[in-house]
Amino acid sequence: MPKIVDHDQRRVELVDATWRIIAEKGLDGATMRDIAAEAGFANGALKPYFPTKDRLLDFAFEHIFAQTNRRMKAATDGLSGRAAVRAYCHEILPLDDERLNEARVAIAFWQKALQDPAKAAVHDRSMEQWRASLGQLLVDAGYRGNDLENALGAVMDLVLGAQITATLSPAHHSPDKLIAQLDTLLDALI
């Protein structure tokens, strides 16, 4: 009897392995063979799911975006005001190993998106979704300024920029410092 394979689960396992390999070796150092071995599969087993490392990176970015959205929903459920804004932002900030590894995947994706209009469009759509949600949360929290677009930009720049700075300079961007920076910005806005 042939073995039944859960293809969706296999894709997730490959993405999880991708995070670990990119975190350890960087995007350029990550090979399909390394990713397959990390996931416990033969190298050829990746081809039906991800024929190229580039396609695997696309899926990994889309997966971490969806995963972050699920965490945001759970974290903000039942919250309102500043607490909801803060909880929403905490799910983007690299405050633990999981979110730091997600940041590494996002950075690798951004690097490719600089030269690939399709990847840039995926990123733009994703960030527009976050901007719309975050903008509404700021309004609901009592944003007290007259330029919501710039306030929203400041918050987005902080949480997305923190993914880069925490990855490159972790000693200067500990979770406590990132949270303090977010709170300082929110103090000025709401």
Nearest to residue 105, comparing CAs of 161, 50, 164?
164
More confident residue, 116 or 35: 116
Residue 2, pLDDT score: 57
Nearest to residue 89, comparing CAs of 101, 80, 76, 77?
76
pLDDT tens string 23-47: 778 778 888 888 888 888 887 877 8
Whole-Å CA distances, 154 to 64, 133, 151, 157: 22, 15, 5, 5
d(C-alpha 70, C-alpha 83), whole Å: 17
d(C-alpha 186, C-alpha 190), whole Å: 6
What amino acid occupies position 132? A
pLDDT tens string 51-107: 888 888 888 899 899 999 999 999 999 999 999 999 999 999 999 998 998 998 899
Residue 49, pLDDT score: 80
What amino acid occupies position 116? D
pLDDT tens string 167-184: 999 888 999 999 999 999
More confident residue, 140 or 12: 140
For the entire predicted model, the pTM comes to 0.87
Residue 144 CB partners (closer than 8 Å, separation 6+): 189, 190
Whole-Å CA distances, 100 to 24, 37, 162, 180: 12, 22, 10, 18
Confirm if 14 and 5 have CB atoms less than 8 A apart.
no
More confident residue, 154 or 3: 154
Indicate the DSSP class of residue 145. Answer: S
The correct CATH number of 60-189 out of 3.30.465.10, 1.10.357.10, 3.30.450.20, 3.90.1010.10 is: 1.10.357.10
Query: Is the predicted pLDDT of residue 1 greater than 60, yes or no?
Result: no
For residue 68, the tally of other CB atoms under 10 A from its CB is 18
d(C-alpha 36, C-alpha 105), whole Å: 17
Residue 3, pLDDT score: 62
Burial class for 97, CB neighbours closer than 10 Å (0-12, 13-18, 19+): exposed
